[in-house]
């Protein structure tokens, strides 16, 4: 039936890939973006390109028109409806994205200046791309700067290359080899994309371009489109489930505080109930009042004029307004639509959880040496930005306090409960209030809360407490009942004669335990020290029973005391016995 056909078509419907441009400062990112979106616009033939909110949309027809000279274009079918280019060059589209797994960018263009090669920021970008598993194409920019280059505007590189002198060709080849080597040093295989690169996933393509004179921009566009639609079919298959990311929170005269979003999948409608992460620990629940996109490109664009929509389908960049505004919305987080079957409270929780988890993951990822193990404190602050500042402080080398959980806003019972199930039941709170109920619960559950308006003071109080606890712990060990034991020193097993004494012994009586003080009854009960560790067959153990042969390490207990030495103060015949202090 007709509807079945429609459905199957719907299934195979691809959305537009989202692309961002990265690279070292001055590599030509801005120029490239201008070049991609601008050429036709300047000639007064916008060719369907639309300027979006923080992005530019290139429809398939426009791309097809621009790549028609390429041989590859003849026998290929463009399946994606277009390409959405994020307008902000650099790291921002990445680093701003806090929501988990937010692979907002489907593909990146990494711009490298052919005259400069890889620079620190190129490597930074590379690492970011690697850590997010984002595919990318290397745009080797400024080929027009090669000495003696003859400009061939918009020509494919093969064609442009044919026009060049042997000297230019030589310089070009030499520089490409250098840059491929530099990439290899970063663990990345690259290859010049002259004859289609069929092994794209293992070998990244290098497309030589000039953002100034436009050489090979068609190849770059074509690669972006064909490669994404071929290798990311699943990811790019349109889904009705709303996937939407807040790119920016902006105050606009007459509209209030708006959010600019990228709708990756699904449909947004005017009147939809939505949930957005809030900076004060509480999510913003509101309705979409208006869905706005800029007016289509005209020669004279009136700034600040928008088209209103009743609904918009992905992939698009949109400005959203709401009745109460989005004053405390957080850029980089996901926007959730509350559907008819959804429980609002669950959506609210999911939105905040998602954001918090990603803040924590990001924090640990960029962390220094602090491996928390099972330990770690809870950190809580008034706003997301103050929380992030606090996390930075805790991460600092001199401080290095591992963080296990985080929270925003006043400390409530739920925060205490969360901390109570952790190994270290401690909350470090900066610039927040503790509700009386939360404090009461904390006292009951043994959760310690360190509050303050100055991060340093909070940290100081925590450190002080940690020191006190350590001292108490040591004192407790002293008071612990000593297990009686009698040990015989084994022949040829004295590995170290004085502090620390390391000897092999056989347990004649009782149990030998770490921490046990030992003395020599035959020599006036002289205390030789305390057992610091026990090894059985080269494995550390806490104790050993009667009959076992183990190696023990004995450290002196009192630094003021005279050091007891094997061979001088005792010898092989002497039995070592647990020292039970009286009083
Ligand atoms: P960004 O910092 O990466 O955004 O770099 P820009 O796009 O601002 O470019 C830095 C400088 O390089 C500017 O002066 C550009 O005009 C110039 N530039 C960019 N692309 C090219 C190119 O392909 N050829 C030449 N000759 N200059 C370029």
| pLDDT tens-place string over residues 525-557 | 888 888 999 999 889 998 999 999 999 999 886
Summarised one tens digit per residue, pLDDT across range 215-229 is 888 889 999 998 898
Q: Indicate whether 474 pLDDT > 80.
A: no
Question: HEC profile for 205-240?
Answer: EEEECCCCCCCCHHHHHHHHHHHHHHHCHHHHECCC
Output the CA 66–ligand 1 centroid distance in Å: 22
Ligand 1 contacts CB of residue 211 (under 6 A): yes
Rounded-to-10 torsion of CA 397, 401, 404, 409 = -100
Residue 249 Cβ inside 6 Å of ligand 1? The answer reads: no
Mean per-residue pLDDT for 305-327?
Answer: 92
CB-ligand 1 contact for 115 (6 Å cutoff): no
Paired residues of 543 in beta bridges? 513
Q: Is the pTM of this model over 0.95?
A: no
Residues in contact with 91: Cβ distance below 8 Å, sequence separation at least 6, in sequence order? 22, 124, 125, 128
23 C-alpha vs ligand 1 centroid, how far in Å?
12
Quick one: average pLDDT of 408-417?
92
Which residue, judged by its Cα, is nearest atom 10 of ligand 1?
26
**Is the pLDDT assigned to residue 247 strictly greater than 70?**
yes
In this predicted structure, what is the pLDDT of residue 102?
Answer: 47
% helix, strand, coil for the chain, step of 5: 30, 30, 40
Query: Across residues 21-36, what is the average pLDDT?
Result: 89
Tokens of 195: 């004859």
**Is the reported ipTM for this assembly greater than 0.85?**
yes
Residue 211 C-alpha to ligand 1 middle, in angstroms?
7
Mean of per-residue pLDDT scores for the chain: 85
Q: What is the per-residue burial (b if ≥16 Cβ within 10 Å, else e) of 74-106? A: eeeebbbbbbbbbbbbbebbbebbbbbebbbbb
Q: How far is the CA of 89 from the centre of ligand 1 (A)?
A: 13
Distance 144 CA to ligand 1 centre (A): 11
* Tokens describing residue 548: 């076992």
Which is the closest atom of ligand 1 to the Cα of 34?
7
Per-residue pLDDT, 73: 54
- Alpha helices per DSSP H over 366-430: 384-395, 413-420
Determine the pLDDT at residue 487: 95
DSSP assignment of 259-291 equals EEEEEEESEEETT-EEEE-BTTSS-EEEE--EE
Q: Residue of the nearest CA to atom 14 in ligand 1?
A: 26
| Ligand 1 contact via 210 beta carbon (within 6 Å) | yes
> Cα(216)–Cα(42) distance, rounded to whole angstroms?
19
Mutate to test the pocket of ligand 1, among 20, 31, 39 (most ligand atoms within 8 A of CB): 31
Task: Answer for the pair 35, 214: CB distance below 8 angstroms, yes or no.
Answer: yes
Q: Per residue in 154-164, pLDDT tens?
A: 788 888 999 99
Instruction: Summarize pLDDT for 70-82 with one digit per residue, the tens.
Output: 766 555 688 899 9
The SS3 call for residue 35 is: helix
- Read off φ and ψ for residue 269, nearest 5 degrees: -125, 150
| pLDDT tops 90 at residue 59 | no
pLDDT per residue as tens digits for the range 120-157: 889 988 988 887 788 899 999 999 999 999 998 878 88
In contact, 56 and 87? CB cutoff 8 Å: yes
- Contact 142 CB / ligand 1 (< 6 Å): yes
49 C-alpha to ligand 1 centroid (Å): 22
Ligand 1 centre to CA of 88 (Å) is 15
Q: How many CB atoms lie within 10 A of CB 325?
A: 18
Give yes or no for residue 89 CB within 6 A of ligand 1: yes
- The atom of ligand 1 lying closest to the CA of 35 is 20
Residue 96 pLDDT: 59
Q: What's the gap in Å between 71 CA and the centre of ligand 1? A: 29
- Give the model confidence (pLDDT) of 343-353 as tens digits: 999 999 888 88
Ligand 1 binding pocket mutation candidate from 23, 24, 25, 26 (most atoms within 8 A of CB): 26
Atom 20 (ligand 1) nearest CA? 28
- Centroid of ligand 1 to alpha carbon of 26 (angstroms): 6
Q: State which ligand 1 atom lies nearest to the alpha carbon of 210.
A: 23
- CA-nearest residue for atom 6, ligand 1, is 28
Q: Which residues pair with 50 in a beta bridge?
A: 57
Task: State the helix-helix crossing angle for 455-479 and 384-395, rounded to 10 degrees.
Answer: 50
Candidate from 230-234, 298-302, 354-358, 404-408 with smallest mean pLDDT: 298-302
């Amino acid at each position: 039936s007709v509807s079945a056909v429609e459905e199957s078509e719907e299934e195979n419907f691809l959305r537009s890939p989202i692309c961002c441009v990265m690279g070292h400062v001055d590599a030509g990112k801005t120029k490239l973006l201008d070049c991609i979106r601008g050429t036709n616009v300047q000639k007064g033939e916008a060719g369907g390109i639309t300027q979006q909110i923080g992005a530019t949309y290139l429809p398939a027809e426009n791309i097809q028109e621009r790549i028609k000279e390429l041989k590859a274009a003849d026998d290929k079918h463009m399946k994606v409806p277009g390409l959405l280019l994020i307008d902000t060059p650099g790291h921002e589209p990445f680093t701003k994205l806090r929501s988990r797994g937010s692979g907002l960018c489907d593909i990146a263009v990494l711009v490298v200046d052919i005259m400069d090669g890889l620079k620190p920021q190129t490597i930074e970008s590379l690492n970011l791309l690697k850590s997010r598993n984002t595919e990318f194409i290397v745009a080797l920019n400024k080929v027009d700067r090669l000495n003696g280059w003859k400009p061939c505007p918009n020509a494919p590189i093969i064609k442009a290359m044919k026009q060049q002198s042997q000297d230019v060709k030589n310089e070009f080849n030499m520089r490409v080899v250098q840059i491929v080597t530099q990439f290899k040093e970063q663990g990345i295989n690259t290859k010049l994309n002259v004859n289609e690169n069929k092994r794209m996933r293992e070998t990244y393509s290098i497309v030589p371009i000039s953002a100034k004179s436009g050489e090979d921009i068609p190849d770059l566009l074509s690669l972006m489109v064909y490669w994404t639609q071929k290798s990311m079919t699943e990811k790019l298959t349109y889904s009705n489930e709303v996937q939407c990311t807040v790119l920016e929170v902006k105050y606009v005269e007459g509209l209030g505080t708006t959010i600019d979003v990228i709708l990756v999948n699904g449909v947004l409608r005017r009147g939809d109930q939505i949930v957005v992460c809030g900076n004060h620990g509480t999510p913003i629940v509101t309705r979409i009042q208006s869905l706005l996109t800029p007016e289509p490109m005209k020669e004279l664009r009136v700034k600040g004029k928008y088209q209103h929509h009743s609904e918009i389908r992905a992939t698009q960049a949109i400005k959203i307004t709401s009745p109460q505004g989005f004053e405390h919305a957080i850029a980089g987080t996901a926007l959730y639509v509350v559907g008819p079957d959804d429980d609002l409270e669950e959506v609210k929780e999911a939105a905040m959880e998602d954001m918090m988890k990603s803040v924590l993951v990001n924090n640990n990822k960029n962390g220094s040496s602090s491996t928390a193990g099972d330990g770690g404190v809870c950190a809580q602050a008034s706003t997301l930005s103050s929380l992030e500042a606090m996390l930075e402080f805790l991460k600092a080398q001199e401080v290095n306090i591992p963080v296990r959980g985080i929270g925003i806003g006043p400390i409530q019972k739920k925060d205490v409960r969360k901390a109570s199930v952790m190994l270290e039941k401690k909350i470090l709170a900066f610039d927040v209030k503790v509700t009386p109920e939360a404090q009461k619960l904390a006292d009951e559950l043994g959760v310690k809360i360190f509050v303050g308006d100055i991060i340093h003071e909070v940290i100081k109080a925590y450190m002080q407490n940690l020191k006190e606890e350590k001292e108490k712990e040591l004192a407790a060990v002293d008071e612990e009942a000593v297990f009686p034991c009698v040990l015989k020193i084994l022949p040829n097993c004295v590995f170290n004669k004085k502090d620390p004494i390391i000897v092999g012994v056989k347990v004649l009586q009782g149990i030998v335990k770490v921490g046990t003080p030992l003395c020599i009854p035959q020599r006036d009960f002289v205390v030789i020290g305390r057992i610091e560790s026990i090894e059985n067959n080269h494995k550390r153990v806490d104790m050993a029973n009667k009959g076992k042969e183990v190696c023990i390490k004995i450290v002196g207990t009192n630094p003021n005391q005279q050091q007891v030495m094997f061979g001088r103060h005792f010898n092989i015949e002497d039995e070592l016995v647990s020292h039970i202090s009286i009083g």
